[in-house]
Structure 1
Amino acid sequence: MSPTGPRTGRRNRLLSELSVAARHYTAAYALFNQALADHFGMHPTDVQCLNLLSLESGRVTIGRVGELTGLSTGAATRLVDRLERAGYVTRERDPQDRRRVLVTTVPERMAAFGQVWHELSRAWWQMFEEYDEEHLDALLTHMRRTVELSAVQIARLRAGDVSGPGPADPG
């Protein structure tokens, strides 16, 4: 018996379909993110960084940009360089600690970014309107658990805690 109950033929079929649908879902999101990045003339990581910065309550350090994006400090610095050249962020020295650099989004540029995001997201909100509260709760639970599990899986990958060939072993 599985932890969630007995395995039935229907359950096995649903799990199999879920596996395929999840791969399509992940690919669709990556392709959407790429198209959005192409629209703005940016790299997909830059678009996701702007998305994540819009969820922060204020200025952030380069280190925080690295935490949000999973990038090293050097790569986060290069990302901020690109965003600054594109006019989406500014940076300044922290007046309390001159060694720290604070990154601030540019409201006008973020508003333009947000306008495109808002226009595109209307279709998703219309789709969500079709779901009752129980389904919305299940979706929200799934999304939150996916974010948590993704963080664990990212850490495993970065720690080399996954068997099979990696970048140093083309295999």
Structure 2
Amino acid sequence: MEQTQSGDARHRRRTGNDIKGALRDLRIQLALLNHQIGGKLALKDVDLDCLDVLARSGPLTPSALARQAGLHPATLTGILDRLERGGWIARDRARADRRSVTIRVLPDRGMEVFRLYQPMIGAMDDVLDGYSEDELALIADFLRRSTAAGERANDELGQE
């Protein structure tokens, strides 16, 4: 019985390591994809990150965007200047308080990015088609919990 538990623990550890390795491989492939798309659009990886945050969250203040993208506000200023010059974003000022700014993605440019990601989106749809609803729910839960673990690790590193 004890030998079976030891074998089960070894198998579980090996499977866990396989999953962590697969996540690292996925991270590398996504980074390469982002880099290629950025090259086609003359954007840096961090520019794409900011555009993605804005596309997912909607218009944001610069401080909210900096927080969500994990950037220092001073760093974000240069990124926003570059994105605005390239016609990717607009800075909208409030009428009442001209100092209050909201950043938004310009729709036509956002579609340009989406078009380049479409082959990966389609490939992922094909991958997901091979799973049942219960399996998809499990995968979604795993990814959400993995994201939360990453956020905790980032928070801990940021406090050192």
Q: Same fold (TM over 0.5)?
A: yes
* Cα deviation code 1:22-74 (max 9, x no counterpart): 222222222222222122111111112111111123x3211121012111111
The one of the two structures with greater contact order (alpha-carbon pairs below 8 A, sep at least 6) is 2
Q: In the alignment, what sits opposite 1:72? A: 72
The CA distance in 1 between the partners of 2:89 and 2:22, in whole Å, is 36
- 2:101 is matched by which residue type in structure 1? V
Deviation of residue 97 (structure 1)?
2.3
Number of matched pairs: 155
For 1:11-26, list aligned pairs within 5 A.
11-26=12-27
- Unmatched tracts of structure 2, length 5 or more: none
**Please, what TM-score do these two structures have when normalized by structure 1?**
0.81
Deviation of residue 87 (structure 1)?
0.7
Structure with higher helix content: 2
* Cα deviation code 1:127-149 (max 9, x no counterpart): 11111112211111012112222
Q: In the alignment, what sits opposite 2:9? A: 8
The CA distance in 2 between the partners of 1:104 and 1:10, in whole Å, is 48
Q: 1:8 to 1:113 in 2, by over 3 A?
A: same
Q: Percent identity?
A: 23
10-19 or 122-131: which moved more?
A: 10-19
- 2:154 is matched by which residue type in structure 1? I
Q: In the alignment, what sits opposite 1:33? A: 34
Q: In the alignment, what sits opposite 1:48? A: 49
Q: In the alignment, what sits opposite 2:98? A: 98
Q: In the alignment, what sits opposite 2:123? A: 123
The CA distance in 2 between the partners of 1:60 and 1:77, in whole Å, is 14
71-80 or 19-28: which moved more?
A: 19-28
Instruction: Name the Cα RMSD after superposition.
Output: 1.9
Deviation of residue 12 (structure 1)?
2.4
- Unmatched tracts of structure 1, length 5 or more: 161-171
The CA distance in 1 between the partners of 2:40 and 2:31, in whole Å, is 14
**Please, what TM-score do these two structures have when normalized by structure 2?**
0.86
